[in-house]
Structure formats: C-alpha cells, structure tokens
C-alpha cells in the first residue's frame, strides 16, 4: 500500500543506549566517568594515509583493504563509561599509551567495572599522551549499566555490515 505522506516510520521506540557514541579525550578538559566494562575491548584498525581517517582491519586479511594496501596498523581500545549525573553512557577511545597508563593506575584491581576513571591529556594539545587516574569506586545508588561492547558503534563509524 502506498503511504500518503513520506514519513520515516518506526512503530517501536528506539532502544536507548544500544549504540553509545565513541569519544576521544579532549585536550581542553578531562573526561571522567564510572567504568561499566570489566576490561578493555580492543581491535586493530588502519590509518588511511589518503583520506586521513581510520578504517577497520578485517580479520580476513584477503578482504581487508587496509592490509591489501599495506596501510599502517593502529590499535584502539575502548571502555564503556557512565555518568550518573547526566545518565549518559559512551565509549572512550584509548591509544596504546593510554592503555598502559590505565594498567598502571589500576594495577591492583581485578576488574575495571565500578572504578571512577579520569582521562586527561598530558598537555593541552591534540594527540598529547592520555593519562589515566583512578579516583574512586561506584557506591550506587543502584547498579551500573550492564557492560556494553563498542562493536555496534564502531561498525557504524566504519560502515561495516553485520555478518548474516
Ligand atoms: Zn587489515
């Protein structure tokens, strides 16, 4: 049946928080949040020197445009963070050095979940080293959101289709 008007219809409300945004740490202000993840979720990407953008590294090297073009590899890690004051969830993107700093700051912690983490740039310039500090633990009220993985958010950024 032909619709009378060109509405972009969806009768079920969108599921909130399924695909939180991914943020990098700003040089202007620290990022703080409670960690919902138990551990870092990491993946290889490529730096596309032509477009100056990151692209996914596909696990089948024969299908990976970045591997075929021999583009440089970049590791990226992600943590699911939560701010109860604004009931916001997001992923912070970690560089290898940020991951190292995180490991140093949480050396005695069996799990990252529930830790209050602060991420800031060593200097107020883009790409400056990200330093991580643990500044508390979750005391409630209630439970932290269940840990999410950044796969859906990343796939959207990279334009990857889900395997069927
Ligand atoms: Zn690759």
Q: Is the peptide bond before 141 cis (omega within 30 degrees of 0)?
A: yes
Q: Is residue 3 part of a domain?
A: no
- From the first residue on, what is the mean pLDDT of each consecutive set of 10 residues in the chain (164 residues)? 78 69 96 98 95 92 94 97 91 98 96 98 93 96 93 88 71
Query: What is the structure's pLDDT at 1?
Result: 59
Domain of residue 49: give its range: 22-158
Within-domain flag for 135 = yes
Give the tens place of pLDDT for each residue, 49-93. 999 999 999 988 899 999 999 999 999 999 999 998 888 999 999
- Number of domains comprising the chain: 1
Q: Do the domain assignments include residue 5?
A: no
- Contact call for residues 36 and 80 (beta carbons, < 8 A): yes
Q: Ligand 1 mean position to 21 CA, how many Å? A: 23
pLDDT at 57 (0 to 100): 95
pTM of the model: 0.86
Ligand 1 being an ion, which residues bring their Cβ within 5 A of it?
Answer: 57, 64, 66-67
User: Domain for residue 4, yes or no?
Assistant: no
Q: For the chain, what percentages of helix, strand and coil (3-state, to nearest 5) are there? A: 15, 30, 55
Q: How far apart are CA 141 and CA 34, in angstroms?
A: 13
Please list the residues that pair with 91 across neighbouring strands: 22, 80
> What pLDDT shows up at residue 39?
97
Q: Which pLDDT does position 15 carry in this prediction?
A: 57
């Amino acid at each position: 049946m032909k619709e009378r008007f060109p509405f972009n219809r969806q009768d079920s409300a969108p599921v909130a928080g399924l695909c939180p945004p991914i943020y990098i740490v700003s040089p202007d202000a620290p990022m703080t949040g409670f960690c919902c993840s138990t551990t870092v979720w990491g993946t290889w990407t490529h730096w596309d020197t032509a477009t100056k953008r990151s692209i996914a590294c596909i696990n089948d090297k024969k299908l990976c445009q970045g591997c075929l073009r021999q583009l440089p590899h970049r590791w990226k890690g992600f943590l699911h963070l939560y701010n109860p004051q604004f009931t916001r969830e997001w992923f912070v993107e970690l560089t290898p050095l940020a991951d190292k700093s995180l490991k140093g700051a949480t050396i005695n912690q069996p799990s990252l979940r529930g830790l209050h983490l602060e991420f800031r740039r060593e200097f107020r310039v883009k790409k400056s080293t990200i330093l991580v500090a643990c500044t508390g633990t979750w005391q409630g009220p209630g439970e932290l959101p269940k840990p999410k993985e950044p796969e859906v958010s990343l796939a959207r950024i990279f334009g990857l289709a889900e395997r069927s």
